[in-house]
Amino acid sequence: MAGHELEPVIGLEIHVQLRTATKMFCGCALGFGEPPNTRTCPVCLGLPGALPVANAEAIHYGLMIGMALDSELAPVSTFHRKNYFYPDLPKGYQISQFDLPLCSGGKLGKVNIHRVHLEEDAAKLNHAGASGRIEGADSSIVDFNRGGTPLAEIVTEPELRSAEQVGEWLRLLRTTLRTLGVSDVNMEEGSLRCDANISLRPTGSDQLGTKTELKNMNSFRFIERGIRAEVERQRALIEEGESVTQETLHFDPKTESITSLRSKEEAHDYRYFPEPDLPPVVITEAMLARAAAELPELPAAREQRYIDELSLSPESARLFAWRAELADYFDAVRASEASLEPQQAANWVTELQGRLGDQEAVDSNVTAASLAKLASMVASATINQGGAKQVLDQLVEHGGEPEAIVAAEGLEAVGGADELAPIVAEALDANPELTERLRGGDMKPIGVIVGEVMKQTRGRADGKEVTALVRQQLGLS
């Protein structure tokens, strides 16, 4: 079948480390880069006789996530054991949830949520030796500081259709979680981790193709690149008439290569069964009320508020609301110069973000106050658009105060008939041939005259004003 008839079907499994004071099933404080195995106890080391006790705060965070994702919250939720052997799993099973997860269903943006459940994180393995993996390692050592950190696993329905869509949606999810305050949601540090289930199918079909699972991608860029690479790999296989094998894959961002971690045949039988050490979690009205009371304004509400109250364009409203840091920066810009038109402020924030790539505006050299100042200088025609963009370039590069840069670079706008009229007249005089054509009604050369004026003013004039003056001086208007 031809390539253009295939569409990707992508579902995500996102692991979020919850920012509780203590671990999921013991009293150890969460690890933040302490010396190895210093945040441990009999429970999170899986010592004989130790028993888990569920962390009430993690359940509270889980309920907040469920509410934010519009999920159905279980009245009674149970923990299960997921059994498999691995050195980072001290008990030989992970306490997770199975048939009665804390949250079922739900929706974020346009993507339906399948479920949200709570579980414990594994410990961290370090492999000595060239392979960097446990196979062929000279030795492997385990740091249990991370083991037992509370995780919320969020599973989407397979409704995403492209790597770009995945990236955009994940930013919305990250913003939602960050707004809730339940997680640091830092992909590089592993507090937000994403696996993607990917398959291809004929566009419009309701059948699902054989899927592969792409594991543990730890940045937005790697996720998008990994998914793109896997979609292309599957597309090539199908177009060559071969079939996709169900397997778990690893994307290496350095080489852009995809390697198999294990096939379906090697998949574990996890032998899930109800965790006998933990009674079912009964969700009380009081727990629900507390979670509801602590819900902050969520991205969808913020988006709507920007449209309703600030008359932002839907594009700007969504861009900001789905990126909480950017929205906070935008709010700071507006707070700094109360007279600014919100959309103008929005346009300058967007302009700035366009120059920053992956860096957040709040982390850049440009303070909200200086961007606000710049925007208000444009609004008051102290400086024109072109000049302002030059100032912005300098702010991004070196930081500083916009007024100082304008003064130092002589970028104040040249405006008004008094200043501009002689320069326009000079430009017309210098181009008699073009002037004649303009007088004759052939307006094509007007751009050259305006360009000449801009050159003389080093871009500080306003193009519209110059055009108006040309017409005026030639008696055309």
Partner 1 sequence: MSEELQALSAADAAAAIAKGDLGRGELFEHYRARAASDELNAFTWVAESMPDSVDGPLGGVPIAVKDLFCTEGIPSQAGSKILAGYCPPYTATAVANLEAAGAPILGKTNQDEFAMGSSNENSAYGPVQNPWDRSRVPGGSSGGSAAAVAAGLAPWALGTDTGGSIRQPAALCGIVGLKPTYGAVSRYGMIAFASSLDSAGPLTRNVTDAALFYRHLVGRDSADATSVSFPEPIALPTSERLDGITLAVPAALVDGDGIEAGVRDSFEAALESARGLGATVVSCEIPSAPYALSAYYVIAPAEASSNLARFDGVRYGLRVDATNLDAMYTETRHDGFGDEVKRRILIGTYALSSGYYDAYYGRAQRVRTVVASELSAIFQTADFIVTPTSPTVAFGLGERTADPLAMYLSDLFTIPMSLAGTPAISIPSGLSDGLPVGLQICGPAFSENRILGAAHALERAIGFDGSSAWSAL
Q: Residue 139 Cβ, how far from partner 1 at the closest point, in Å?
A: 11
Q: Residue 135 Cβ, how far from partner 1 at the closest point, in Å?
A: 8
Kindly state the tokens that stand for 325.
Answer: 């840091």
By three-state DSSP, how is residue 97 classified? coil
Q: Which is nearer to partner 1, 39 or 302 (CB)?
A: 39
CA 428 vs CA 23, 86, 348, 464: distances in Å:
77, 82, 35, 17
Q: Determine the Cα–Cα distance for residues 22 and 185; give it in Å rounded to an integer.
A: 17
- Which residues, listed in sequence order, are joined to residue 103 by a DSSP beta bridge? 73, 116
Q: Which does 83 bind (CB under 5 to 8 A by kind): Zn ion, partner 1, none?
A: partner 1
Q: Which does 90 bind (CB under 5 to 8 A by kind): partner 1, Zn ion, none?
A: partner 1
Q: Which does 135 bind (CB under 5 to 8 A by kind): partner 1, Zn ion, none?
A: partner 1
Q: Residue 246 Cβ, how far from partner 1 at the closest point, in Å?
A: 16
Q: Determine the Cα–Cα distance for residues 62 and 365; give it in Å rounded to an integer.
A: 36
Q: Which does 269 bind (CB under 5 to 8 A by kind): Zn ion, partner 1, none?
A: partner 1
Residue found under tokens 């350095």: 254
Q: Which is nearer to partner 1, 267 or 476 (CB)?
A: 267
Q: Which is nearer to partner 1, 45 or 283 (CB)?
A: 45
Q: Residue 49 Cβ, how far from partner 1 at the closest point, in Å?
A: 4
Q: Which is nearer to Zn ion, 87 or 314 (CB)?
A: 87
- Which residues, listed in sequence order, are joined to residue 30 by a DSSP beta bridge? none
Q: Which is nearer to Zn ion, 28 or 461 (CB)?
A: 28
Q: Determine the Cα–Cα distance for residues 363 and 348; give it in Å rounded to an integer.
A: 16
DSSP one-letter code for 4: G
Q: Which is nearer to partner 1, 147 or 415 (CB)?
A: 147
Kindly state the tokens that stand for 61.
Answer: 């965070």
Q: Which is nearer to partner 1, 89 or 300 (CB)?
A: 89
Q: Which residues bind partner 1 (CB under 8 A)?
A: 42, 45-54, 81, 83, 85, 87, 90-93, 134-135, 142, 269, 271-273, 276-279
Residue type, 163: A
DSSP one-letter code for 327: H
Q: Residue 145 Cβ, how far from partner 1 at the closest point, in Å?
A: 14
Q: Which is nearer to Zn ion, 43 or 113 (CB)?
A: 43
Residue found under tokens 């360009």: 451
Residue type, 158: P
Q: Which does 45 bind (CB under 5 to 8 A by kind): Zn ion, partner 1, none?
A: partner 1
Q: Residue 40 Cβ, how far from Zn ion at the closest point, in Å?
A: 5
Q: Determine the Cα–Cα distance for residues 50 and 25; give it in Å rounded to an integer.
A: 11
Q: Which is nearer to partner 1, 135 or 363 (CB)?
A: 135
Q: Which does 278 bind (CB under 5 to 8 A by kind): partner 1, Zn ion, none?
A: partner 1
Q: Determine the Cα–Cα distance for residues 97 and 59; give it in Å rounded to an integer.
A: 12
Q: Which does 28 bind (CB under 5 to 8 A by kind): Zn ion, partner 1, none?
A: Zn ion
Q: Residue 60 Cβ, how far from partner 1 at the closest point, in Å?
A: 17
- For CA atoms 296, 300, 305, 306, the dihedral sign is positive
Q: Which residues bind Zn ion (CB under 5 A)?
A: 26, 28, 41, 43-44
Q: Residue 118 Cβ, how far from partner 1 at the closest point, in Å?
A: 14
Q: Residue 41 Cβ, how far from partner 1 at the closest point, in Å?
A: 9
CA 25 vs CA 31, 67, 178, 278, 291: distances in Å:
14, 23, 23, 10, 20
Q: Which does 93 bind (CB under 5 to 8 A by kind): partner 1, Zn ion, none?
A: partner 1
Q: Determine the Cα–Cα distance for residues 111 and 12; give it in Å rounded to an integer.
A: 10
Chain centroid, CA 439 distance in Å = 55
Q: Which does 44 bind (CB under 5 to 8 A by kind): Zn ion, partner 1, none?
A: Zn ion
Kindly state the tokens that stand for 178.
Answer: 């960050």
